[in-house]
Copies of this chain bind each other. A is one copy, B any other.
């Protein structure tokens, strides 16, 4: 297996101790991190001459991505986003109208061994997967109680030290991640903002659950989870640290398509245009088809939810009442010896009332997680058209390159560079798709199991209740 790895900048000179598997590096040198999980304060890195060895973590600044900046990134369910452009990336790569900002190429790069595994290129995954718990929502206030808000406690599994964040901080993080990684990695929207009823318990619980799901998904992504801004969010030490980090992140200029300038597949051949196109087409078809499938399931699920919480329990309720009503009529017959029947009829009626309640409560137990997961995927899938659009525009430009060379608009060398960049974009997209597939399989397996498990329990409980009701009638 090959990995897509991060580049780092050396902050101080470091001289290797001979025989200790160390690597000498000079201040300002760019190295590639081949293994971040050495532990004990060490990183494994490779220098530009191909030598590999250990370097002290403190001596380098891991900056996987460049320094460009996107303005006006917005998020909606159609996931229209502004895109970045810059000097390095030919303006004409993308001829669709977008609002670009200017900027310079960043120095950092982030990828050396874009490789092919069994499934093609994959991101490098840390040995220990980052995760965090979003919990304990607390009402806070400022300006002498004039403004109040909800603060959630976020505890990463790395430090095990909780930090507090308001929804607007999550939103800030979302904007940063979208700016920085949005062109290569789908950054799903945060749970919807809501102004009214912000402090209702049910709403806070639901928002927390969704923030948890969003954070977990971000944690599971190796590129996002290792980024400085994400780490800042999870592990800032104090208010000052947080504010300084925020300011720095907002000045980060490696945003938009600049992300690709920080990725550099090594040890693998450049992909030819045909293969790039085929992969792009395949991903485009798949994400479109899955988007349709997910939306279909959501529509069906919503309909079913409505029925399960509305007319269906009402009907079971009415059946239950009808049995109980008949029982009390029978009780008034004045005929001796029908207590067994009337008791059993009452019990059967009550059983159907219990079933009514079970039916009404069931969607929260099973359909809920199925819907939440599919909603998450709907959000993710909504990001792909943009990513694939950037990709397709790049493909078109490379296709036109010969003509541009012929009319001397670009040099043959520039044409080679363009093709190389497209190859990098394709490797990156493939790695991202493989990441997506891998988690998709895990998520759907898990959620389907959960759903069916709860469904089995539900029907078994009903059967059990009815069996008991049945046993109360006399066998004749």
Q: Is the interface of A mostly helix, strand, loop or mixed?
A: helix
Contact B466 A463 (CB under 8 A): no
Contact A348 B293 (CB under 8 A): no
- Is A167 engaged at the interface, CB distance under 8 Å to the other chain? no
- Is A236 engaged at the interface, CB distance under 8 Å to the other chain? no
- Is A143 engaged at the interface, CB distance under 8 Å to the other chain? no
Contact residues in B for A437 (Cβ distance below 8 Å):
333, 335, 338
- Is A406 engaged at the interface, CB distance under 8 Å to the other chain? no
Contact residues in B for A442 (Cβ distance below 8 Å):
476
Contact B466 A459 (CB under 8 A): yes
Given A296-B325, A297-B322, do A445 and B463 touch, yes or no (CB 8 Å)?
no
In angstroms, how far is the closest chain B Cβ from the Cβ of A350? 13
- Is A248 engaged at the interface, CB distance under 8 Å to the other chain? no
Contact B459 A459 (CB under 8 A): yes
Q: List A residues 453-474 near B (Cβ within 8 Å).
A: 453, 455-456, 459-460, 462-463, 466-467, 469-470, 473-474
Inter-chain CA distance A335–B118, complex, in Å, is: 9
Contact A286 B469 (CB under 8 A): no
Contact residues in B for A441 (Cβ distance below 8 Å):
330, 335, 337-338, 341
Inter-chain CA distance A455–B17, complex, in Å, is: 78
Given A329-B289, A336-B118, do A473 and B449 touch, yes or no (CB 8 Å)?
yes
What are 5 A-B contacts with C-beta separation under 8 Å?
A: A286-B333, A289-B332, A293-B322, A338-B441, A456-B467
Contact B476 A452 (CB under 8 A): no
Residues of A within 8 A of B (CB): 118-119, 282, 285-286, 289-290, 292-294, 296-297, 300-301, 303-304, 307, 311-312, 315, 318-319, 322-323, 325-326, 329-330, 332-338, 341, 344-345, 348, 433-434, 437-438, 440-442, 444-446, 448-449, 452-453, 455-456, 459-460, 462-463, 466-467, 469-470, 473-476
Contact B444 A470 (CB under 8 A): no
Inter-chain CA distance A348–B448, complex, in Å, is: 9
Closest partner residue, chain B, to A314 (CB atom): B303
Contact residues in B for A296 (Cβ distance below 8 Å):
322, 325
Closest partner residue, chain B, to A296 (CB atom): B322
- Other-chain contact of A470, B286, B318, B452, B474 (Cβ < 8 Å): B452
Inter-chain CA distance A294–B325, complex, in Å, is: 9
In angstroms, how far is the closest chain B Cβ from the Cβ of A30? 33
Contact residues in B for A469 (Cβ distance below 8 Å):
452
Contact A452 B473 (CB under 8 A): yes
- The 8 A-B residue pairs with the shortest CB-CB distance in the complex, in nearest-first order: A452-B470, A459-B463, A335-B437, A297-B322, A293-B326, A293-B329, A460-B463, A289-B329
Contact residues in B for A319 (Cβ distance below 8 Å):
300-301, 304
Contacts A119-B336, A297-B323 aside, 11 further interface pairs with beta carbons under 8 A come to A285-B332, A290-B326, A292-B329, A296-B322, A300-B322, A303-B315, A333-B437, A335-B441, A452-B467, A456-B463, A460-B463
Closest partner residue, chain B, to A286 (CB atom): B333
Contact residues in B for A433 (Cβ distance below 8 Å):
335
Contact residues in B for A460 (Cβ distance below 8 Å):
459-460, 463
Closest partner residue, chain B, to A324 (CB atom): B293
- Other-chain contact of A444, B290, B336, B345 (Cβ < 8 Å): B345
Contact B449 A475 (CB under 8 A): yes
Contact residues in B for A474 (Cβ distance below 8 Å):
445
- Other-chain contact of A341, B329, B445, B459, B466 (Cβ < 8 Å): B445
Inter-chain CA distance A293–B331, complex, in Å, is: 12
Contact residues in B for A334 (Cβ distance below 8 Å):
282, 286
In angstroms, how far is the closest chain B Cβ from the Cβ of A369? 14
Contact A466 B476 (CB under 8 A): no
Inter-chain CA distance A286–B331, complex, in Å, is: 10
- Other-chain contact of A466, B304, B333, B434, B455 (Cβ < 8 Å): B455
Contact B463 A341 (CB under 8 A): no
Inter-chain CA distance A345–B451, complex, in Å, is: 12
In angstroms, how far is the closest chain B Cβ from the Cβ of A370? 10
In angstroms, how far is the closest chain B Cβ from the Cβ of A296? 5
In angstroms, how far is the closest chain B Cβ from the Cβ of A446? 7
In angstroms, how far is the closest chain B Cβ from the Cβ of A348? 6
Inter-chain CA distance A437–B333, complex, in Å, is: 8
Contact residues in B for A286 (Cβ distance below 8 Å):
329, 332-334
Inter-chain CA distance A441–B467, complex, in Å, is: 20
Contact residues in B for A118 (Cβ distance below 8 Å):
336
- Other-chain contact of A434, B325, B335, B348, B445 (Cβ < 8 Å): B335
